[in-house]
């Protein structure tokens, strides 16, 4: 089968106890025509998993994953393993608390994926990120731009099989949650991966979407900022001056990097 004819599977991570979320995804399946294969999520309440997480050796900075973050990381690795054990070149990986754009099923075709793409990020977390200043690469009615800065969340992305094999070989790092590991510019893998952001993003977590998709002013009025320079509550980390300083710093950085510092819209 040539690349233009190829299709990929969509995997949906879901806990056995969250039948409500599975019902939500089944309704989405019917609405947008996106078939998916359920992947059983690892449960942080499992004593064996908690014991396994505690055995994870801490890095020199003494940070350690929580049991919940460890379970999420293992759940994503289960999807990566399913891809590696298949004959598919790519897979779409979804978490079970998402809102999906109506046209997402068309992206199960693989012809549009750039050859150098290790990951295509389908999700927006609705915070400002750096992407290339170029027009990007067309992908249906959307465009792909290289992601150049931290953009957290692993609710929706496409992964290349070769990349899944490489990531599985690295094991689970003790101090990186899976979204930070993949999508934080300071992680050990971000700089060596070809990561594209789809714009507009066809995936958003439900708790990030406070107004109907496409509602005028949604980006301006409903986003919740999450800052790189977070400080403990009560120390002024969310003050207007702190936000202004961060925005100014990142706009100056965008000039140096030759990027655009933008909120990726959902739609």
Neighbour tally for 29: CB within 10 Å? 16
Burial of 253 (0-12, 13-18, 19+ CB in 10 A): middle
Instruction: Name the pLDDT band for 54 (thresholds 50, 70, 90).
Output: confident
> Would the pLDDT of 161 be above 50?
yes
Give me the mean pLDDT over the 50-77 stretch. Answer: 81
CA dihedral 228, 181, 116, 121 (to 10 degrees): -60
> Would the pLDDT of 70 be above 70?
yes
pLDDT > 90: percent of the chain: 67
CA dihedral 112, 261, 225, 75 (to 10 degrees): 30
Q: Hunting for tokens 């979804």 — which residue is that?
A: 94
**pTM, full prediction:** 0.84
Instruction: Name the pLDDT band for 6 (thresholds 50, 70, 90).
Output: confident
In this structure, the strands spanning 90-95 and 195-199 are unpaired
> Would the pLDDT of 2 be above 50?
no
pLDDT at 38: 98
Least confident stretch, 7-16, 100-109, 238-247: 238-247
pLDDT at 174: 83
Query: Where do the structural domains in the chain lie, given as residue ranges?
Result: 3-263
User: Is the bond leading into 81 cis (omega within 30 degrees of zero)?
Assistant: no
Using one digit for the tens of pLDDT, what is the confidence trace for 208-236?
765 444 333 333 333 333 222 222 333 34
Q: For 156-205, give the secondary structure using H, E and C.
A: EEEEEHHHHHHHHHCCCCCCCCHHHHHHCCCCCCHHHCCEEEEECECEEE
Using one digit for the tens of pLDDT, what is the confidence trace for 78-114?
999 999 999 999 999 999 999 999 999 999 999 999 9
Give me the mean pLDDT over the 186-195 stretch. Answer: 96
- What residues does 157 pair with on adjacent strands? 93, 121
DSSP 142: E
Average pLDDT, the chain: 84
CATH fold group of domain 3-263: Spore Coat Polysaccharide Biosynthesis Protein SpsA; Chain A (3.90.550)
Give me the mean pLDDT over the 52-73 stretch. Answer: 77
Burial of 151 (0-12, 13-18, 19+ CB in 10 A): buried
Burial of 156 (0-12, 13-18, 19+ CB in 10 A): buried
pLDDT at 228: 22
Q: CA–CA separation, 126 vs 129, rounded Å?
A: 9
Least confident stretch, 44-58, 59-73, 227-241: 227-241
Using one digit for the tens of pLDDT, what is the confidence trace for 172-181?
988 899 999 9
pLDDT at 62: 53
Least confident stretch, 54-68, 69-83, 131-145, 246-260: 54-68
Q: Which one, of 57, 59, 55, lies nearest residue 186 by Cα? A: 59
Using one digit for the tens of pLDDT, what is the confidence trace for 19-43?
999 999 999 999 999 999 999 999 9
pLDDT at 222: 32
The terminus-to-terminus CA distance of the chain in angstroms comes to 31
pLDDT at 253: 79
């Amino acid at each position: 089968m040539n690349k233009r004819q190829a299709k990929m599977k969509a995997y949906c991570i879901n806990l056995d106890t969250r039948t409500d979320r599975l019902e939500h995804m089944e309704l989405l399946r019917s609405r947008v025509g996106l078939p998916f294969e359920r992947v059983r999520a690892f449960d942080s309440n499992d004593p064996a998993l908690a014991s396994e997480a505690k055995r994870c050796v801490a890095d020199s900075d003494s940070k350690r994953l929580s049991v919940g973050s460890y379970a999420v990381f293992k759940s994503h690795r289960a999807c990566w393993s399913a891809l590696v054990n298949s004959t598919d070149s790519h897979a779409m990986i979804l978490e079970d608390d998402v809102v999906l754009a109506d046209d997402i099923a068309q992206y199960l075709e693989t012809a549009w994926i750039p050859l150098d793409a290790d990951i295509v990020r389908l999700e927006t977390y609705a915070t400002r990120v750096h992407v290339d200043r170029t027009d990007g690469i067309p992908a249906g009615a959307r465009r792909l731009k290289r992601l150049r800065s931290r953009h957290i969340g692993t609710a929706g992305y496409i992964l290349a099989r070769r990349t899944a094999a490489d990531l599985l070989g690295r094991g689970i790092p003790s101090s990186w949650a899976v979204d930070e590991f993949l999508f934080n510019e300071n992680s050990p893998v971000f700089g060596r991966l070809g990561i594209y952001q789809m714009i507009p993003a066809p995936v958003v977590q439900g708790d990030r979407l406070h107004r109907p998709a496409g509602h005028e002013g949604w980006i301006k009025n409903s986003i919740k900022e999450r800052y790189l320079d977070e400080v403990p509550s009560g120390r002024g980390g969310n003050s207007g001056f702190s936000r202004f300083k961060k925005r100014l710093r990142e706009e100056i950085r965008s000039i140096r990097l030759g990027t655009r510092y933008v909120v990726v819209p959902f739609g």
